[in-house]
Amino acid sequence: MTSEGKKTVWHAFYDVLRSYDTKTIFGNPGSTEQPMLKNFPSDFEYILGLQEASVVAMADGYSQATRKPVVVSLHTSAGTGNGMGNIMSAFLNKTPLIVIAGQQTREMLIGEPMLTNREETMLPKPWVKWAYQPVAAKDVPAAVVRAIATAVMPPAGPVFLSIPLDDWDQEIESAPFIRNVSTRVSPDPEQLSLFASRIHEAKRPALVLGQEVDKSLGWEAGIKLAELLNIPVFQAPLAERAVFPETHPLFKGTLPIAKGPLAQSVEPFDLLIVIGAEVWRYYPYVAGPVAPPGVSVLQITNDPHDAATALIGDSLLSDARLALEGLYRELQASGFQQSTGHSAQKSPIDKVLSDTTPKSGASMTGMDAWNSLAKLRPKEALLVQESPSNGQDFVKAWPSEQAESYFTFASGGLGWNGPAAVGIALAQKHKSSGRPTILAIGDGALQYSVQSIYTAVQHKVRLIYLVPRNDEYAILKEFAILENTPNVPALDLPGLDAVAAAKAYGCPAYFASDATELQNVFKKALQMEGPVLIEFPIDRHLRPLVAQNTAKA
Ligand SMILES: Cc1ncc(C[n+]2csc(CCOP(=O)(O)OP(=O)(O)O)c2C)c(N)n1
Ligand SMILES: [Mg+2]
C-alpha cells in the first residue's frame, strides 16, 4: 500500500499471479527488475538461474511438467537476448511462458540511458505470440491478464512484456478482471465425419502420432483408436514427446527425418492419419517426394500455422485428444470392424531391449551404454534427452510406456534440455511425486547451459545427468558426410571435463570407465537425494545420419 493506503501496480501484479496460481517465478535479476522483485512476497518462490538461457528453459520444463503458465523475469535487452534461443525453443515447444523484461525509467527513455531496451517489442519477435510494453503504468496488471490468456490459448506459447522500472510503485484505481480462457479447440463435426469416412474407406491406413497427443493427455484415446483400427502406429519425425506405448505391438517406431527416406518408408500405405504433428518436421535434406504416389494424408493439429504449412493433405483444426476420441466414436458408430490385415506384430524395439550385458574391455558405443542401464531404469523416471548422435539409441533402449514422461525440444537449439530437466525435476519436488528425472546429454550439449547445474544443486532436485563422452560433435561429423562438406573446423572437443564442471557447481559427479562401472555408479546415483552427474566414454564410430527404411511396417 502507498502512504494513502492505495494499491500499487506491484500489489496488483502479485494478486493477478495468485489468482492464476503461478507463484514460482524463474529469473535472473538486474536493476531494471528490482522494483518488481522488492519485498518479494513470502508465498512466492524465486528460482535463480545464472544465465538467462537457463532461466527460460528451466521455466519451460517446469511449465510442461506442471501444465501451467510460468512467469520468467529477465534483465532488459541483454537478459532477453541471452534467453532468446530458448524463447525460440519455447515457441516451437508451444509452452506458455510469460516473459517479463525490465525497462529503464519511463521519464528517461527519450534520452536512451544505459539499459534502455530500444524498440523493446521487436527483440523477441517472431518467437513470441505477443510482445507489448504497456502504454501507461496503470495498464500493467491488465497486460499480465492478457498475456496469460494469450500464452495458454492454443497453440500455447511464450509472450513478452516490457515493464519500465518506475511503473511498479504507481497507484492504481482498480484491479483488473481475472479471466479464464479455454485451452482446447474441438473439431469441426463435418470435417471430422469426413475424415472418419476416409479412414473407413482406406485399404492400408497408418497412424502417425505427434507431440500434441501427449500434451493433450491423449495417450489412452490414441491407444483405443489404434486398437480399433488395428493398424501400424508411427511416431512423427522429431516429435519432442513420446506419444504411444513404445513396446505396444502396433508401434513401429519413428518416421525418418528426411524427405526421401520418409516417403520411401510410407510406401506400403494408402492413407496416413497424422495427429498432433507437422507434415513434416524434416531435418537434413535428402531428395525425394513429400509422399509417394497413391499415399494420401489427413492432418489433425491445434495449430493453424502447422495446418497452413503442411506440404500435403487435408487438415482439421482440433485438440489431439478430442479428435482421437471423436474419430473413435464416429468409426464405432459407423460399424467399423476391426480389420485383421495388420495382426499384432512384435515391436521393433523388443530385440534391442534384450541386449543388456555389459561389454567388458572393448569400448562402449552409446547404444551399449544405454542398454547396460536399461534394466536398472526406474519405471517411474522422467526422461529428458539432448544427446544428438545417440539420442535415438537412448529412446530405443529405454522405450517410453507412460504418458508425460519423455521430454526433448521441438527446435534442435542446444542448451534447452539441460535446464529444462532441472525445471522438470523441480516440478517433481514441488508435487512430491517421488519420481527421479534422468537426463541423457552429449558432452558438447551439456556446455550450452551448464550453469543450470547450480540451480539443480541449490534446490536439491533429484536429477541424474548421463553424459556420454566422445570428445566431439559427432552428429556434425555425420552431417558432414551426408552433405559432403569435408574439413569443417572445430568438430573435436578435446579437454572437456564434465565431472569437474559439475563439481564446480557443487554437484556430485563420477567418471565411469566401462559398462560395469557405469551400472554401479548409476545404482548409487538412484539412491542419492540431489543431482548427480555421471560421465562415461563412448567410442567415436560415425554412422549414417539418416537411417534408410527404418519405418517399414
Ligand atoms: C544453439 C546451438 N548451437 C549449435 C548447434 C549445432 N549442433 C547440433 S548438434 C551439435 C553437436 C552436439 O554434440 P554433442 O552434444 O557432444 O553430441 P554428439 O553429437 O557428440 O552425440 C551442434 C554443435 C545447435 N543445434 N544449437
Ligand atoms: Mg559429443
| Most ligand 1 atoms within 8 A of CB, residue of 82, 283, 389, 394 to mutate | 389
Whether 476 lines ligand 1, by a CB cut-off of 6 Å, is yes
pLDDT, residue 354, reads 41
Q: Which atom of ligand 1 is nearest to the CA of 386?
A: 15
**Minimum-distance ligand to the CA of 442?**
1
Q: DSSP 3-state helix, strand, coil percentages of the chain (rounded to 5)?
A: 35, 15, 50
Which ligand 1 atom minimizes the distance to the CA of 415? 1
CA torsion sign for 424, 429, 435, 439 is positive
Ligand (nearest to CA of 469): 2
Q: Nearest 5°: phi and psi at 233? A: -120, 125
Nearest 5°: the CA angle 25, 83, 435 is 50
Tell me: pLDDT of 262 over 70.
yes
Strands (E), 15-136: 24-27, 45-48, 70-74, 97-103, 131-132
pLDDT value at 310 more than 80: yes
Find the ligand nearest to 365 CA: 1
pLDDT tens per residue, range 173-202: 999 999 999 999 999 999 999 999 999 999
Model pLDDT, residue 149: 98
pLDDT of residue 6: 84
155 contacts 303 by C-beta, under 8 angstroms:
yes
Ligand 1 close to Cβ of residue 443 (< 6 A): yes
What percentage of the chain has pLDDT greater than the value 90?
91
Nearest ligand for residue 387 CA: 1
The answer to whether residues 464 and 529 touch, using CB atoms and an 8 Å cutoff, is no
Contact 284, 310 (CB under 8 A): no
Ligand 1 pocket, residue 391 CB under 6 Å: no
Assess contact for 96 and 125: CB atoms under 8 A.
no
Establish whether residue 389 lines the binding site of ligand 1, counting it when its CB lies within 6 angstroms of any ligand atom: yes
Locate cell 570407465: which residue?
Answer: 513
Average pLDDT over residues 436-452: 98
pLDDT, one tens digit per residue, over 336-392 is 876 544 444 444 444 444 444 555 445 899 999 999 999 999 999 999 999 999 999
Pocket test for ligand 1, best of 414, 481, 538, 543 (most atoms within 8 A of CB): 414
Return d(Cα 245, Cα 251) in angstroms, integer. 7
- Residue pLDDT, tens place only, 531-540: 999 999 999 9
Residue with the smallest CA separation from ligand 1 atom 13 is 473
Burial status of residue 17 (CB atoms within 10 A of its CB: 0-12, 13-18, 19 or more)? buried
Ligand nearest to the backbone CA of 478 = 1
- Cα distances from 533 to residues 32, 384, 448, 492, 505, in angstroms, run 35, 14, 16, 22, 11
pLDDT of residue 337: 72
Residue percentage of the chain with pLDDT more than 70: 93
Rounded mean pLDDT, 264-293: 97
Assess whether the C-beta atom of 85 lies below 6 angstroms from ligand 1: yes
* Mutate which of 395, 472, 475 for ligand 1 pocket (most atoms within 8 A of beta carbon): 475
* CB of 284 sitting under 6 A from ligand 1: no
Q: Is the CB of 163 under 6 A from ligand 1?
A: no
- Ligand 1 centroid to Cα of residue 339, in Å, is 44
Model confidence at 548, pLDDT cuts 50, 70, 90, reads low
Instruction: Check whether 506 has a pLDDT greater than 80.
Output: yes
Ligand nearest to the CA of 474: 1
**Cα 145 to middle of ligand 1, angstroms:** 38
Q: Is the CB of 387 under 6 A from ligand 1?
A: yes
pLDDT at 74: 98
Cα of 445 from ligand 1 centre, angstroms: 6
The three-class DSSP label of residue 244 is coil
- Measured from the Cβ of residue 339, the count of other Cβ atoms closer than 10 Å reads 15
Is the pLDDT at 3 greater than 90? The verdict is no
From the CB of 412, is ligand 1 less than 6 Å away?
yes
396/352 Cα distance (integer angstroms): 7
Contacts of 445 (CB under 8 A, 6+ apart): 386, 387, 388, 414, 415, 417, 418
Terminal Cα-to-Cα distance of the chain (whole angstroms): 67
Would you say the CB of residue 84 lies under 6 angstroms from ligand 1? no
Q: What is the pLDDT of residue 541?
A: 86
What pLDDT is stored for residue 352 in this prediction? 41
Ligand 1 and 479: CB distance under 6 A: no
- Ligand 2 centroid to 185 CA: how many Å? 41
Mean pLDDT along residues 127-144 = 98
Q: pLDDT tens, 412-441?
A: 999 999 999 999 999 999 999 999 999 999
> What distance in angstroms lies between residue 387's CA and the mean position of ligand 1's atoms?
8
* Band (460; pLDDT cuts 50, 70, 90): very high
pLDDT in tens, 47-62: 999 999 999 999 999 9
Pocket test residue of 384, 408, 443, 473 for ligand 1, highest count of atoms within 8 A of CB: 473
Q: What is the mean pLDDT of residues 464-482?
A: 97
At 20-36, the pLDDT tens digits run 999 999 999 999 999 99
What is the reported pLDDT for 1? 66
Ligand 2 centroid to residue 489 C-alpha, Å: 15
82 close to ligand 1 (CB < 6 Angstrom): no
pLDDT for the residue numbered 363: 87
pLDDT computed for residue 501 by the predictor = 98
Q: Is 445 in the pocket of ligand 1 (CB under 6 A)?
A: yes
> Which atom of ligand 1 is nearest the CA belonging to 389?
21
Atom of ligand 1 lying closest to residue 412 CA: 25
Q: Is the CB of 388 under 6 A from ligand 1?
A: yes
Mean pLDDT value across residues 194-211: 98
Q: Is the pTM of this model over 0.85?
A: yes
How far is residue 236's CA from residue 241's CA, in Å, rounded to a whole number?
10
For all residues of the chain together, what is the average pLDDT? 94
Q: How many CB atoms lie within 10 A of CB 245?
A: 20
CB of 505 within 6 A of ligand 1: the answer is no
pLDDT, tens only, 119-132: 999 999 999 999 99
pLDDT at 355: 47
CA atoms within 13 A on the CB side of 475: 17
Does residue 276 have its Cβ closer than 6 Å to ligand 1? no
How many angstroms separate the alpha carbon of residue 365 from the centre of ligand 2?
Answer: 12
Average pLDDT (2-18) is 90
